[in-house]
Amino acid sequence: MPEKPKTSEPPLTFKAKAIGFGASLILRSVCATTKFELRDHAGIVDNPPSQQLIWCFWHNRIFAMPPAYRRYLKSRSGAVLTSPSNDGAMIATTLKCFGVDAVRGSSSRGGIKALLSLKKWIANGFDVAITPDGPRGPRYILAPGLIMLAQKTGAAILPIRIDYSDFWRLRSWDQFQIPKPFSKITVTFEPLQFIDPELDEAGFEEARLRVQNVMNPNGETD
């Protein structure tokens, strides 16, 4: 087991811990009634890659990721980038209930610090996970930080798509989706994406759009 890097993450408050633990119980209860289906176009379940991966999935599909991780990726260890806000603290607590560490930061607040922390996790032999349109959007638009991290580390990007057959939609910036009980959750691992570390500006934008289009095969705007 690789050694986790030392971090200076702020301690979680009692309120964040309590709400996060409660959220984990709700998440487990809802997902216990749903049917999961995996479409592994990356082939990583049967043939796990030896290199580190950067998992990416849209911000409004976070709900199903912890149980999906426990089902399909539990042999891999890593950390998830979460917002430094109070909401991020609650998400961090929820993730810990599923055995996943959290790195606090975002593209808009503490972006450089967060990027350096993620690089340390990858250098130490861990995977990392990012919601590339978070924490403030625009929804379904991939921010450049993901591509930069892949360039700096050589890690492959694993685009993860999550679709619910039936769900509630919240009135948040990302229109957060919560699967309804007894619905179907389809988890799709798209083929690994590799980023050339020597891209010029045009090549960088082409790579960003390529990964974004892989995650939005139908041009999602919902």
pTM of this prediction? Answer: 0.89
pLDDT values of the chain reduced to their tens digit, one per residue, 222 residues: 677 776 656 667 777 778 888 888 888 898 889 999 999 999 999 999 999 999 999 999 999 998 899 899 988 888 888 877 777 777 878 887 787 888 876 655 446 778 888 999 999 999 999 999 978 889 999 999 999 999 999 999 999 999 999 999 999 999 999 999 999 999 999 999 999 999 999 999 999 999 999 999 876 655
Omega of the bond leading into 138 within 30 degrees of 0 (cis): yes
- Does residue 56 lie within any of the structural domains? yes
- Does residue 5 lie within any of the structural domains? no
If one counts every other C-beta atom within 10 angstroms of the C-beta of residue 36, the result is: 14
- Does residue 184 lie within any of the structural domains? yes
Cβ burial 103-117 (10 Å sphere, 16+ → b, else e): bbbbbeeeeeebbeb
CA distance 131 to 106: 10
Yes or no: say if 190 and 160 are a contact pair by the CB < 8 Å rule.
yes
Domain count, the chain: 1
- Does residue 209 lie within any of the structural domains? yes
- Does residue 104 lie within any of the structural domains? yes
175: CATH: 3.40.1010.10
Q: Which residue has the tokens 């590339």?
A: 132
β-pairing verdict for 184-189 and 35-40: parallel
Range of the domain at 111: 36-215
- Does residue 3 lie within any of the structural domains? no
